[in-house]
Amino acid sequence: MTWREDLRYLVLGDGQADRIVPPSGFTARLTVFAAAAMAFLAVFALALALASNRLAHRWGAELAGSSTIRIVAPETQLGQQTEAALGILETTPGVAFARALTPDEQRSLLAPWFGRDVDLQALPVPQLIEVIEEEGFDPAGLRLRLAAEVPGAVLDDHGRWRGPLLASANRLRGLGWLSTVLLAASVAAMVSLAAQASLAANAQVIAVLRLVGATDRYIAQAFVRRFTLRALGGGVLGTLAGGVAVASLPAPPESVGFLEGLGFAGADWLLTLCIPLLCAVVAFAATKTAAHRALKRLA
């Protein structure tokens, strides 16, 4: 038999063959519960992975392609140095656009720390220049020119922010996927144990089947189909419960950017359909392996 025939039997079943394994409450409940619990957790792991993915993209997109120049100078020289820096930027290759932030924009940047009514005149606040990069931008060369002509200018190309942030986001995403893999492995272990318990409890059934000429494949199929369908059922239940739980998470305040992304958006929901299927595939493989091992041992 080929895997196609295995799959055909798995989907269509065989009325008589499906009944040869007696219904066993304990292993059935264990498999359904394990699959449901793991699917529930997998929904959160998937949500975490997707949120991390979105976060990495957002941080990457927001911080990539832009730099900031900070002019730190006495108040009397601040305007002059800002003009000089903008002049340099106009003739610098790789600079698509550059502008000095307005006092209102600078005030809003400080608002989280000092409130909306901060008086910029009373604070030694540097002037910020936003730089939009394009192809050919050379931060090292620009730094040298600024150092020579605008002594109070400091170029921040966001590299020291973006690198660690992206690394963190990528690590979070990796943890999400690792959690999903570990959960799949847990499902495999639980289903494997349940299948072994069921095979051991049904040694008499196996002996009768062998007596009437059943092949190992025939015997294994009956167990495999049952456990696969149980895992699929448990996976569907767990995924539904997990989906409802994620959907009902309270919306965090707008300022908490990370939590805002934890959840599924649009087509992300379709990915959750993979979780019950993953449960079924894992159960199929685990039960098949366990059954063939047990049948070899019982031979």
**Looking at 13-21, 74-82, 146-154, 273-281, which segment touches other proteins (CB under 8 A)?**
13-21
Residues in CB range of 181: below 8 A, 6 or more apart = none
State the Cα angle at 170 between 165 and 172, rounded to 5°.
95
Among 2, 11, 12, 16, binds other proteins (CB under 8 A): 16
**Under the criterion CB under 8 A, does residue 20 sit at the interface with other proteins?**
yes
CB of 5 to other proteins, least distance (A): 11
- Closest to 283 measured CA to CA, from 189, 213, 142: 189
Nearer of residues 24 and 186 to other proteins, judged by Cβ: 24
**Under the criterion CB under 8 A, does residue 17 sit at the interface with other proteins?**
yes
Nearer of residues 15 and 136 to other proteins, judged by Cβ: 15
**Chain centroid offset of residue 196 CA:** 33
Residue 133 — φ and ψ, nearest 5°?
-90, 160
**Under the criterion CB under 8 A, does residue 216 sit at the interface with other proteins?**
yes
Contact 272, 49 (CB under 8 A): no
The contact mask relative to other proteins for 103-142 (x = CB under 8 A, - = no) is: ----------------------------------------
The contact mask relative to other proteins for 252-291 (x = CB under 8 A, - = no) is: ----------------------------------------
DSSP 252: P
Contact 294, 276 (CB under 8 A): no
Amino acid identity at 104: D
Within the chain, strands assigned E span: 66-71, 95-100, 127-133, 153-156
Among 5, 14, 62, 134, binds other proteins (CB under 8 A): 14
**Looking at 9-17, 57-65, 80-88, 162-170, which segment touches other proteins (CB under 8 A)?**
9-17
CB of 21 to other proteins, least distance (A): 9
What token pair was written down for 26? 């304990």
Nearer of residues 204 and 248 to other proteins, judged by Cβ: 204
CB of 28 to other proteins, least distance (A): 14
CB of 298 to other proteins, least distance (A): 11
Among 114, 218, 262, 263, binds other proteins (CB under 8 A): 218
The whole-angstrom separation of Cα 108 and Cα 269 is 36
- Count H helices and E strands in the chain, helices first: 12, 4
Contact 153, 146 (CB under 8 A): yes
Contact 187, 34 (CB under 8 A): yes
Contact residues: other proteins, CB under 8 A: 14, 16-17, 19-20, 22-23, 204-205, 207-218, 299
